[in-house]
């Protein structure tokens, strides 16, 4: 679903788990801005801000690699790392 | 194992969240019960306030809105419709997150049995009675300690809850309200007559039995009060509440 000002918005309800929402703004096929939200649990919580920072100026091909390197020592309850990656990829590929 | 038991009456949303974090910070093993005045919405740490909450409707109804330090979903804390608990202990007691949810929720479910409810823990953080949700909890781990807090529904008003939360308005058909009403219950709806003291006594008993905890009644320490006063400013701030 596309919303205003070139911002893409999507969500993923994890089966038996929680809801992940994502807003992204793309520029030249790279992520310019990104924000995840939702009712999942993540420990430590600050990791989400770290991954959002790490994903800036990243192309779709690099997303998985960024998650692998930046999403270490994090425990997600109600979703998985792959759910975040899939939501992001679906959103960008749909654009 | 000794735990402090704190029985608080109504406080506002910002004070309540500040007190929970102050207790978490100091790490004195504690079970606290409290209520919210004015009624409030708390949103999960990762939620977007603008996406989840109808701020205009909240303002109109004098409802406070606060971001929690814990993940999870948005909750409507009705002034008289629920009791909130918070539980703090060392992380060492429960290294495994899911296991800690299981044990704490088992204490709550057992506690609700004592007031006559056939309650059981389901999923990650819910307690249901006959398949309908009566309690939800959320947990964080900081400063080497665990904070789990959650709500126990005494009365439920799905229509009011929906009017304050941003469930896309066109979707709030009577049918949708009906379907949520079918999935949620409360102590009152289950036909149980129990006052706050009886509910709290039951839950305390649940913790005693499941975790073999001994309780002593006490209030916050001077240091915790001071920490909470400082933290209250964070919970009142736009910077915190609108961070997502």
pLDDT tens for each residue of B32-50: 999 999 999 999 999 999 9
Amino acid B244: pLDDT: 92
Which of B71, B63, B68, B232 lies closest to B163 in space, CA to CA?
B63
- Supply B141's token pair: 């781990």
CA distance A79 to A81: 7
Q: Which residues of chain B have pLDDT under 70?
A: 168-177
3-state secondary structure of A39: coil
CA distance B126 to B137: 7
Given a cut of 90, whether residue A71 has pLDDT beyond it is no
Amino acid A28: pLDDT: 86
Contacts of B98 in chain A (CB under 8 A): 77
Chain B touched by A79 (CB under 8 Å): no
Q: What angle do CA B12, B244, B153 make, to 5 degrees?
A: 40
Mean pLDDT score, A37-61? 94
Structure confidence by residue, pLDDT tens digits, B209-218: 999 999 999 9
Q: Where are the beta strands (DSSP E) in chain B?
A: 2-11, 30-36, 40-43, 64-67, 75-77, 82-90, 119-122, 126-129, 132-142, 145-153, 214-217
Order of strands, edge to edge, in the sheet holding A19-27? A7-13, A19-27, A30-38
Q: A78 and B124: CB-CB below 8 Å?
A: yes
Window B:91-120, CB contacts with A under 8 Å: 97-98
* DSSP states along B21-73: HHHHHH---EEEEEEESS-EEEE-TTS-HHHHB-HHHHHHTT-EEEE-SS-S-
Rounded to a whole number of angstroms, the distance between the first and last alpha carbons of chain B is 39
Domain harbouring A81, CATH code: 3.30.390.50
Q: Which domain holds residue A71?
A: 4-94
Q: What backbone phi and psi angles, to 5 degrees, belong to B85?
A: -120, 155
Given a cut of 60, whether residue A1 has pLDDT beyond it is no
For B36, counting Cβ atoms within 10 Å of its Cβ (0-12 exposed, 13-18 middle, 19+ buried), the class is buried
pTM (global) more than 0.80: yes
Residue corresponding to tokens 């009906």: B178
Q: What angle do CA A67, A70, A76 make, to 5 degrees?
A: 70
Chain B touched by A21 (CB under 8 Å): yes
Q: What is the ipTM of this complex?
A: 0.92
CA distance B191 to B186: 9
Chain B touched by A48 (CB under 8 Å): yes
Q: Which domain holds residue B12?
A: 2-241
Residue corresponding to tokens 């997303």: A63
Nearest chain A alpha carbon to B74: A39
Amino acid B7: pLDDT: 97
3-state secondary structure of B186: coil
Amino acid A3: pLDDT: 61
Number of domains in chain B: 1
Chain A touched by B242 (CB under 8 Å): no
Q: Is residue A70 very low, low, confident or very high in pLDDT (cuts 50, 70, 90)? A: confident
CA distance A74 to B136: 23
CA distance B201 to B19: 22
Peptide bond before B38: cis, by omega within 30 degrees of 0?
yes
Domain harbouring B148, CATH code: 3.30.930.10
Q: A77 and B51: CB-CB below 8 Å?
A: no
Q: What angle do CA B45, B146, B38 make, to 5 degrees?
A: 50
Number of domains in chain A: 1
Contacts of B72 in chain A (CB under 8 A): 39, 41
Contacts of B145 in chain A (CB under 8 A): none
């Amino acid at each position: 679903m596309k919303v205003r000002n070139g911002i893409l918005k999507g969500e993923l309800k994890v089966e038996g788990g929680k809801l992940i929402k994502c807003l992204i703004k793309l520029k030249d096929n790279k992520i310019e801005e990104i924000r995840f939200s939702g009712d999942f649990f993540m420990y430590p919580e600050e990791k989400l801000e770290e991954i959002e920072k790490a994903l800036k100026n990243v192309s779709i091909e690099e997303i998985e690699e960024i998650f692998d390197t930046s999403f270490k020592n994090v425990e997600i309850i109600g979703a998985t790392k792959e759910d975040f990656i899939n939501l992001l990829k679906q959103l960008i590929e749909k654009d | 194992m000794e735990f402090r038991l704190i029985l608080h009456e109504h406080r506002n949303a910002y004070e309540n969240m500040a007190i929970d974090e102050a207790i978490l910070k100091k790490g004195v093993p504690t079970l606290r019960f409290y209520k919210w005045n004015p009624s409030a919405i708390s949103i999960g740490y990762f939620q977007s306030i603008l996406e989840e909450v109808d701020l205009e409707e909240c303002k109109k109804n004098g409802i406070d809105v606060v971001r929690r330090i814990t993940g999870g979903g948005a909750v409507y804390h009705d002034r008289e419709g629920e009791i909130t608990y918070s539980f703090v202990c060392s992380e060492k007691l429960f290294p495994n997150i899911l296991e800690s949810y299981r044990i704490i929720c088992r204490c709550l479910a057992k506690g609700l049995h004592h007031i006559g409810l056939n309650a059981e823990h389901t999923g990650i953080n819910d307690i249901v009675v006959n398949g309908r949700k009566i309690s939800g909890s959320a947990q964080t781990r900081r400063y080497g300690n665990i904070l789990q807090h959650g709500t126990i529904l005494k009365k439920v008003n799905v229509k009011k809850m929906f009017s304050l939360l941003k469930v896309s308005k066109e979707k709030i058909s009577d049918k949708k309200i009906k379907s949520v009403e079918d999935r949620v219950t409360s102590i009152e709806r289950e036909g149980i007559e129990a006052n706050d003291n009886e509910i709290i006594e039951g839950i305390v008993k649940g913790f005693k039995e499941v975790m073999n905890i001994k309780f002593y009644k006490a209030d916050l320490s001077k240091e915790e009060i001071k920490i909470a006063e400082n933290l209250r400013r964070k919970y009142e701030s736009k910077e915190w509440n609108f961070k997502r």
